[in-house]
Structure 1
Amino acid sequence: MDKLQIEQVSRQWLEEIVIGLNLCPFARRELVNNRVRFAVSEADSEEALLRGLQEELRFLEEHPDTETTLLIHPGVLTDFDEYNDFLAAVDGLLQLLELEGIYQVASFHPDYRFAGTGAEDAENYTNRSPYPMLHLLREASVERAVDSHPNPDAIPERNIAVMAELGADDLRQRLARIIAGNA
């Protein structure tokens, strides 16, 4: 797939899964207001991805009208365990750039697996995406969104219940359809 197709797949995933299933009650507003940046990286190494991450953080610093970035990196860290280990380097970069507390990075991966879950448990689909991606969020915006929500602590529990109700087979088919529909 080319970069445009990867962006289209990622956008459709955001629309149908994240927003459509209300996994993130804050995402719809930002997408509708065109404040979500989809950045498809051509990185083929962890070092190149870290450089791309630094560029995206700089972009957000220079463009306050962009609320958040999905840094999609289909060519690197396709193995979930390697991806999960890489998140320590992401945290280290935020510290090095003195951006800890200003930005946070949420993680999404096609094989996402929460600790203590089986590889095919439905709850893992709350963080499963068509491609590996890093979601760059403004910390102040996250705090405002959480403060405005009537019960933010219930969001993860609700999401797990939704995923369990749909089941892993249904969710796997949804992701496959999104990817196939844009190939």
Structure 2
Amino acid sequence: MSVVAFSLVEQHIRTWLQSFIVELNLCPFARPLIADPALRIHVCEANNLEQLHHAFLSELDLVQQSSEGEIATSLLVMPNILQRFEDYLEFLGDAEAMLEELGLDHMIQLASFHPQYLFDGEDKDSASHFSNRSPYPLIHFLREEMVTAALDNVDMPQQIPERNIALLEGMGRETVAARWAALTADEQK
């Protein structure tokens, strides 16, 4: 993938963050970080699992070694690999295991997003799946301390997932799918 293509992938991610995550308020903590240089979006060149494991560990190390002011949070975007959701979930399990093996599972949290994201036990046509859909497979690295501090400033943070489901279901699958189609159509240009 060329440098231009990588910058387009990053722009697609920024558009998704703004038009889905922020505008729909799916994550009440995202708005302040959107324009912050401490939001890192790393478009990974990996074409195979070995390269991806290396990229994951490198990103993990970079986030851990950086201050909050340098990198508050990071998105590892994987446009060339893990297109099948099942493959993505398998890698995510490996990533969580690596985090635990390194003793970083109480410092860094991983949030998962994928174009074909499906919540286990939900109807496959549920609009709720769009809360974790992204234009490309990606893993979001979150600092545990920042998550805890952010949650302390939100009323009933445990209800965020339920609120998102209610919002998306209330909008209706067709409306949400049309919004998603417009977003992904813009990416194809």
Which digits, 9 at most, give the CA deviation of each residue in 1:65-104, with x for residues without a partner? 2111111101111101111122110111112222111101
8 Å CA contact retained: 1:43, 1:73: yes
Q: CA deviation at 1:55?
A: 0.9
8 Å CA contact retained: 1:107, 1:135: yes
8 Å CA contact retained: 1:125, 1:168: no
8 Å CA contact retained: 1:68, 1:138: yes
1:162 and 2:188 are equivalent in the alignment: no
Give secondary structure in 2 for the equivalent of 1:18. helix
Q: CA deviation at 1:121?
A: 1.0
Q: After TM superposition, list the pairs within 5 Å mapping 1:1-183 onto structure 2.
A: 2-64=5-67, 65=69, 66-182=71-187, 183=189
Considering only aligned residues, what root-mean-square deviation do their CA atoms show, in Å?
1.4
Q: Which amino acid aligns with 2:130?
A: Y
Q: CA deviation at 1:44?
A: 1.2
Where in structure 2 are there 5+ consecutive unaligned residues? none
Q: CA deviation at 1:172?
A: 2.3
Q: Which amino acid aligns with 1:26?
A: F
Q: Which amino acid aligns with 2:164?
A: N
8 Å CA contact retained: 1:114, 1:124: yes
Give secondary structure in 2 for the equivalent of 1:56. helix
- TM (norm. structure 1) is 0.94
Which digits, 9 at most, give the CA deviation of each residue in 1:9-47, with x for residues without a partner? 100100110011000000111223332111101111222
Q: Which amino acid aligns with 1:43?
A: A
Q: Which amino acid aligns with 1:104?
A: Q
CA distance in 2, matches of 1:21, 1:46: 33
CA distance in 2, matches of 1:53, 1:147: 29
CA distance in 1, matches of 2:178, 2:134: 12
CA distance in 2, matches of 1:46, 1:167: 37
8 Å CA contact retained: 1:129, 1:175: no
8 Å CA contact retained: 1:130, 1:179: yes
Give secondary structure in 1 for the equivalent of 2:141. strand
CA distance in 2, matches of 1:140, 1:97: 18
Where in structure 1 are there 5+ consecutive unaligned residues? none
Give secondary structure in 1 for the equivalent of 2:34. helix
Q: Which amino acid aligns with 1:17?
A: F
Q: Which amino acid aligns with 1:155?
A: I
Give secondary structure in 2 for the equivalent of 1:153. helix
8 Å CA contact retained: 1:68, 1:136: yes
Give secondary structure in 2 for the equivalent of 1:51. helix
